[in-house]
Amino acid sequence: MRKMADDQTRSSPRFILLFPVLALLFQAGCSDLQLNYYSKSCPKAEEIVKEEVMKLYEKHGNTAVSWVRNLFHDCMESCDASLLLETANGIVSEKTSQRSFGMRNFKYVNTIKQALETQCPMTVSCADIVALSAREGVVMLGGPHIAMKTGRRDARESHVAVINDFIPNHNDSMSLVLSRFQSIGIDAEGTVALLGAHSVGRVHCVNLVDRLYPNVDPTLNPNYSEYLKGRCQSPQPDPEAVIYARNDRETPMILDNMYYKNLLSHKGLLLVDQQLVSDPVTLPFVEKMASDNGYFHDQFSRALLLLSENNPLAGDQGEIRKDCRFVN
Ligand code: HEM
Ligand SMILES: *[C@@H]1O[C@H](CO)[C@@H](O)[C@H](O)[C@H]1NC(C)=O
Ligand SMILES: *[C@@H]1O[C@H](CO)[C@@H](O)[C@H](O)[C@H]1NC(C)=O
């Protein structure tokens, strides 16, 4: 052993040659994702996802909104479709987490998976369905087209405790939010752009009443707080009831920079939204995005791509699920 070590020190030129190879090996976890990963095994995979997302959008427009939120909730910890597992066989579903409150349309993930299973059985992962459906959902909502890689594999376990701990709450501070995204490689500018996803969809009154009762949050635009109080009339709404308000009343189904314009007129829905303008780190980005939709879309694409590549399972890790709700 000792001798070998000595030999290696002496043959340093060879070590220098080896170094780039080693560096590449260490990055293997990331570089396993690639553009059009299914080009040989299931050439139509991306087209099938796109078609199914379009068909679902035509019947139930808010599925597109759900696909975008799914990517956030699945990928904050690891893009591995752990989000989609049901409670069964010792697994506690992440859907039961308080953080997953209000998530919907999970049953239509199965519609997409079934279409893929018909063409290419046991080939396309549920984690890639989460990613690709989000990408196509963004397009349906008038957002940018994002060149997303594929090749993610599916987890055999859920991470409900990590979800509760790591995904920020609606009323967390901006510094906490920024540090969570920072820790997965997304900077403040990217975080501001990602929150632009709240340009679409809804928020239930349970997540809003703290800003309305007993006193109205003084940072809220009075016109907007009137609308919110009209929507959420009780300080203690029944969490089971579907009582909600829209973030962006002007263009609620378009992923555009109206969200930032609203923030600047103090019409941010969640506390976390409104804090983007009270924090000096994020305010300049809000102003820039409010004035330039193209810039918002560029930053949104960049950050969603980073999020979609966070900590995937690849190679021989995990599995390809047959049914996205259950481990094989
Ligand atoms: C600090 C980060 C975030 C927090 C605290 C947060 C929190 C929330 C909350 C509380 C809701 C409303 C749930 C309900 O009452 O029904 C919501 C909705 C939503 N969030 Fe976020 N979110 C964050 C970041 C993101 C990101 C990064 C994305 C996607 C890129 C996203 C996408 C969505 C979408 C699309 C909805 C609407 C869902 C629907 O209408 O069904 N959120 N979020
Ligand atoms: C945030 O809201 C939750 C309820 O959704 C509440 O239990 C918690 O105390 C709030 N946290 C802060 C810091 O206000
Ligand atoms: C509230 O709405 C009225 C009527 O649309 C408008 O004139 C006024 O400027 C608004 N106030 C604020 C604070 O936005």
Query: What is the tens place of the pLDDT at every residue in 46-98?
Result: 999 999 999 999 999 999 999 999 999 999 999 999 999 999 989 999 999 99
Domain range annotation of the chain: 45-167, 174-304
pLDDT at 2: 39
- pLDDT given at position 248: 85
Distance CA 74, CA 169 (A): 15
Class of domain 174-304: mainly alpha
Tell me the two tokens of residue 181: 């995204």
The two three-digit tokens of residue 203, written as one number: 């928020």
User: Domain 45-167 classified CATH 1.10.520.10?
Assistant: yes
Name the band, by pLDDT with cuts 50, 70 and 90, for residue 238.
confident
In the predicted structure, residue 166 carries a pLDDT above the cut 90 = yes
Compute the distance from residue 99 Cα to the ligand 1 centre, in Å: 9
Confidence at residue 12, expressed as pLDDT on a 0 to 100 scale: 46
pLDDT at 7 over 70: no
Tokens linked to 107: 């049953």
20 has pLDDT over 90: no
User: Which of 166, 170, 179 maximizes ligand 1 atoms within 8 Å of its Cβ, making it the mutation to test the pocket?
Assistant: 170
The predicted pLDDT at position 3 comes to 39
Q: What's the average model confidence in pLDDT over 203-229?
A: 95
Per the model's pLDDT, the better-predicted residue between 13 and 35 turns out to be 35
Which whole number is the average pLDDT over 224-234? 94
Cα separation, 220 vs 226, whole angstroms: 10
Nearest C-alpha neighbor of 138 from the set 259, 54, 78, 80: 54
Q: Ligand 1 center to residue 158 CA distance, Å? A: 20
CA torsion 28-70-130-86 (nearest 10°) is: 100
Q: Which residues contact 90 (CB under 8 A, 6 or more apart)?
A: none
Supply the pTM of this predicted model. 0.91
Mutate to test the pocket of ligand 2, among 205, 207, 210 (most ligand atoms within 8 A of CB): 210
Confidence of residue 24 (pLDDT cuts 50, 70, 90): very low
Phi, psi of 313 (to 5 degrees): -85, 140
Q: Is 200 in the pocket of ligand 1 (CB under 6 A)?
A: yes
Report the mean per-residue pLDDT for the chain.
91
Beta bridge partners, 204, equal 244
Query: Measuring from atom 10 of ligand 2, which residue has the nearest CA?
Result: 171
Please tell me the distance between residue 104's alpha carbon and the centre of ligand 1 in angstroms.
12
* CB of residue 137 inside a 6 A radius of ligand 1: no
For residue 91, the cross-strand partners are 88
